């Protein structure tokens, strides 16, 4: 996703190298930090429950759940991104913006629900997995709004890409060629965003593998 964005704005700049904790600290207010500290102390107490064991977590079921969500959204993105524009109207980015925003909402809804289901499964597992599930829930509360705000800016970059295609092909006799190229770019970005949104879920499932 970062590679696509850099390509679209025509920059080779490397992302700022900063410690993860330092970067996250900049995203949290003083009030958030207090809440996070309290949550982490509560989560740490789960370690004392080691003797209680926990239920076995069905890794295969979680993988199937994630795969189902990914495949369904991939099919939806592929279909919607390739939707033909109204030939009776001049090319306009507005309809693509609306389509992208709608697909973002669908991704957010389905991925959030999937992540909650995976977290629920982990919360019944070993103390270590229960700690991880609780931590993931806290991070969603702390960083979810920030994440959505950042992702909502992606369509602005897509608009630049739309204008790039229109300007470079302004002398073409037909618009179908460059519009097809733009639609492929939009599809690539949506799929990259989907993969980004799925990463926390894949991380939780990987943790189950290690725990087992």
Give the model's pLDDT for residue 65: 97
**Average pLDDT by consecutive 10-residue portion of the chain (212 residues)?**
84 64 81 85 74 80 97 95 70 89 96 97 91 92 90 91 83 69 93 97 95 82
Give the model's pLDDT for residue 9: 77
Q: What angle do CA 103, 106, 110 make, to 5 degrees?
A: 145
How many residues are present in the chain?
212
Q: Which two tokens stand for residue 162?
A: 């739309």
Domain boundaries, the chain: 86-212
In angstroms, rounded to a whole number, what is the distance separating the alpha carbons of residues 12 and 194? 24
Q: What is the pTM of this model?
A: 0.86
3-class state of residue 55 by DSSP: coil
Give the model's pLDDT for residue 82: 77
CB 101, CB 95: distance < 8 Å? no
Supply the DSSP symbol for 123: T
Give the model's pLDDT for residue 189: 95
């Amino acid at each position: 996703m970062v590679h696509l964005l850099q390509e679209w704005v025509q920059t080779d700049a490397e992302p700022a190298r900063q410690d993860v904790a330092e970067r996250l600290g900049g995203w949290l207010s003083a009030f958030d930090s207090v809440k996070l500290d309290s949550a982490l102390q509560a989560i740490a107490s789960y370690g004392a429950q080691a003797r209680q064991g926990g239920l076995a977590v069905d890794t295969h079921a979680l993988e199937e759940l994630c795969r189902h969500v990914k495949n369904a959204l991939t099919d939806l993105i592929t279909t919607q991104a390739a939707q033909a524009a109204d030939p009776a109207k001049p090319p306009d980015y507005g309809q693509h913006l609306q389509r992208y925003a709608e697909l973002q909402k669908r991704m957010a809804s389905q991925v959030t629900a999937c992540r909650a289901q995976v977290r629920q499964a982990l919360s019944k597992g070993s103390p270590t997995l229960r700690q991880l599930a609780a931590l993931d829930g806290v991070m969603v509360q702390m960083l979810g709004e920030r994440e959505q705000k950042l992702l909502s800016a992606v369509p602005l970059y897509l608009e630049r890409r739309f204008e790039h295609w229109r300007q470079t092909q302004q002398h073409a006799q037909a618009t179908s060629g460059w519009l097809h190229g733009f639609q492929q770019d939009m599809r690539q970005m949506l799929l990259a965003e989907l993969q980004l949104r799925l990463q926390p879920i894949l991380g939780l499932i990987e943790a189950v593998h290690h725990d087992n």
